[in-house]
Chain A
């Protein structure tokens, strides 16, 4: 009996020692504890409710109604169209720098749109129109008007012969001075309704550089724009006829934007 007891006692001591070893030295035990702790935190973070502020975030303080129109000459009559389905983006001006990403809105078929903005300075970019700077201070109506103009350039002929006949290989320099007092956009050049390209765009090396050949050019106030073209007639013409060359049209536009404060109707 005594022997049995001592045997059991020995076994118990061994078990105790083994557990003590496990609890105090075993790396596996420590790693297990750590894994349990991580599992606990995973459950905690997965089910922990998201705190929300007591009051909802306010909407931007200024409601801006946008009215975009296009004023275009047609058959010697000025016509006014709504600028339908155009992107209008507002880029905040912070510390003199214009933000790259703006708040965007698309006008409806009547050229109208509405957007909520915080008060401050913005640069408004409407489609490919010239950007405009505005200041928003409370609810307002923003009117953006694009004036489309057709005008003739000043033409200089660079003749390659003294024949007083302009051959198809001769070149013409079209120039135009912006007298409008604001930035204008040259969006195309046509000859008798057909779009023409400058010789720069026709040369092989420049074909790769689409930026250089872009037909849309901004002309600053009092700035002169000029470009060299091939003889748009495509055939030989007499010098006298060339001097009275008609049919070359520059398609120009400029944009005006103004902000008028409105009273918000409460109720």
Chain B
């Protein structure tokens, strides 16, 4: 694998650390194994694995016509929803739906991690989006598993989303977040992940530009501009310091705006300065 020879792959691995901590822990794995006896869970996982194998071996390419390929792919991925959805709508039975949702969340996180670490042709925006999505899905998987086990259920979807509302406190949403035992480790991993994902995204953008110009070329541009990318990473961290100062000022009077307002303001100022100077 070409990617394994590149530094950005390992840096991206560091970026995925907080997501991996939330996904690969005892709590989530107990829930995962707990659902192993559920038919909808097994069916969903079988379909996802079949999709991955088919994709990897190029079986979809044997189907003539892009529309037909898309139809088959969509059917494979969405087929497990059908029986669980019918059971949910007709009998209001969520017991099939929750394992199915958990399987989608679990594999959704794995897909995001794959795109963050080895995703070959993703841009900076894509990489950051995958990081954010992976983080949110992993948080749902972890919180839902933890709350579910505390309540004697397999997975508590309501409590998982309730915990997410803590993130949305900027919009004054009232949530009832539960304390997460791994929060300290995730916070520590985030300290490494933020510069790592910045570096990784910038490198991904460079690589994408390089691939667009010459699809089969070796990643020379990324390698030669690596110090510049590292310097830009430091610059991005330095840019966040005015955000910190503003956030501390705002938090004294409007703590619900401490996250979003300073960030948007500084981003606006930086973009304006760049646009004017250009």
Contact = CB atoms under 8 A, between A and B. Distances in A.
B248 A49 contact: yes
Interface in A182-215: none
B90 to A, nearest CB: 17
10 contacts: A30-B227, A33-B233, A34-B195, A34-B233, A37-B195, A37-B234, A37-B237, A43-B244, A45-B190, A51-B258
| Category for how many chain A residues contact B | 35 or more
Given A37-B198, A49-B248, A55 B233 contact: no
B256 A40 contact: no
Nearest to A24: B227
A47 B153 CA distance: 37
Interface string B144-159: 0000001111000000
Interface of B: 94-95, 150-153, 169-170, 172-176, 187, 190-192, 194-195, 198-199, 224, 226-227, 230-231, 233-234, 236-238, 240-241, 243-244, 247-248, 251, 255-259
Secondary structure at the A interface, as helix, strand, loop or mixed, is mixed
Given A38-B191, A53-B256, 13 more contacts: A29-B230, A33-B231, A41-B195, A44-B241, A45-B187, A49-B248, A49-B258, A51-B169, A51-B258, A55-B172, A95-B153, A99-B152, A100-B152
A92 interface: yes
A94 B153 contact: yes
A53 B195 contact: no
B17 to A, nearest CB: 12
A7 interface: no
Interface string A22-44: 01111001100110111011111
A55 B174 contact: yes
B148 to A, nearest CB: 10
A196 to B, nearest CB: 37
A162 interface: no
Interface in A118-145: none
Given A33-B227, A42-B191, A48 B247 contact: yes
B169 A53 contact: yes
Interface of A: 23-26, 29-30, 33-34, 36-38, 40-45, 47-58, 92, 94-95, 97-101
Contact of A53 (B152, B174, B243): B174
Contacts, number: 114
Contacts of B258: 49-52
B47 to A, nearest CB: 25
Contact of B244 (A33, A48, A53, A92): A48
Contacts of A95: 94-95, 153
A213 B180 CA distance: 40
Contacts of A33: 227, 230-231, 233-234
Contacts of B256: 51-54
A33 to B, nearest CB: 4
Nearest to A32: B230
B247 A49 contact: yes
A90 to B, nearest CB: 13
Nearest to A37: B195
Nearest to B236: A37
Contact of A40 (B170, B190, B230, B241): B241
